[in-house]
Amino acid sequence: MDIIKSFFTLFHKKLDYSIAQNECLLTHMKALVVHPKTFGDYCECHKGKDVALIACGPTLKYAHAVDGMIYVGVNGAFRQSFATLDYLFFQDPVPWLNEANNYAKGHCKKFYGIIPQNRCRDGKFRPISIFDIRDADASTYYLEDMLFHNWPNNIALEPIRDHCGSVFSAMQFIIYTRPKNIYLFGCDCQDGGHYYDDGNGFHHAYGYQISAWQSLKEHASAYYPDINIISVNPVKLKGLFSDCYTREFLSEHPEIEKNTDATILE
């Protein structure tokens, strides 16, 4: 009986992996058709410039606008008030997505991701509706199943790497635009929710993202050494990239400025 049970366990594992491989192949085919239109015009479009990735960690409340910065936000980052986003990435159908759909129309370019079907099989996740994509006038992109963890070389021809976080989709786009500096705002990777808390969003612990940031650093260092990545008011990412701080953050954490040669973002 144990032999039969072991056989069926192994069979189901291999079947699940085979299904994931087939879905991954289908995703690559979809990306080949859709991504040239979605991303093709953005290659090196911000070469030599400063781009900010605006995530939703609690430290975002200490952020301020910087002259000449280009702003790429994810999820509820459009709710902050210090800067109007130039781009917005979403890939989860949160209850307040309609608010995002109508955000800064005519100025903010929106990208809505289609998560892998393999992640939707247990019913915990579902893809963004085609109607939300149309209402937002958003461009779509496809995510490769996180089972494979491949960083794409060219997002205009390949799926976006899925790492259970739209920050990584946005980062792959930002790198594709080839800026000089990428500033990470609100990428805290800690427990404690978001800079906002109205009870309508996801409030996960984000420590699981640290390993993905470490992998991204290795990838970026090898393939894009001319791009600098800077963590602003870092928490769990402290020391991984270059670090800098806002005066608003240091006013509540004077020990940092006292004990280190803290770089200030003016």
CA 24 to CA 216: how far, in whole Å? Answer: 21
Closest by Cα among 41, 79, 39, 45 to 63: 79
Nearest residue to 157 (alpha-carbon basis) of 40, 24, 9: 40
At 11 the pLDDT is: 42
CATH 1.10.10 fits 2-259, yes or no: no
Whether pTM > 0.85 for this model: the answer is yes
Q: What contacts 172, CB < 8 A, 6 or more positions away?
A: 151, 152, 155, 160, 161
Q: Tens digit of pLDDT per residue, the chain (266 long)?
A: 566 555 445 544 554 556 567 777 888 899 999 999 999 999 999 999 999 999 999 999 999 999 999 999 999 999 999 999 999 999 988 888 999 999 999 999 999 999 877 766 666 677 899 999 999 999 999 998 765 567 999 999 999 998 878 999 999 999 999 999 999 999 999 876 777 765 554 556 677 889 999 999 999 999 999 999 999 999 999 999 999 999 999 999 888 876 677 899 98
Question: For residue 32, what pLDDT is reported?
Answer: 95
Is 246:232 a contact under the CB 8 Å cutoff?
A: yes
How many angstroms separate the CA atoms of 136 and 140, rounded?
11
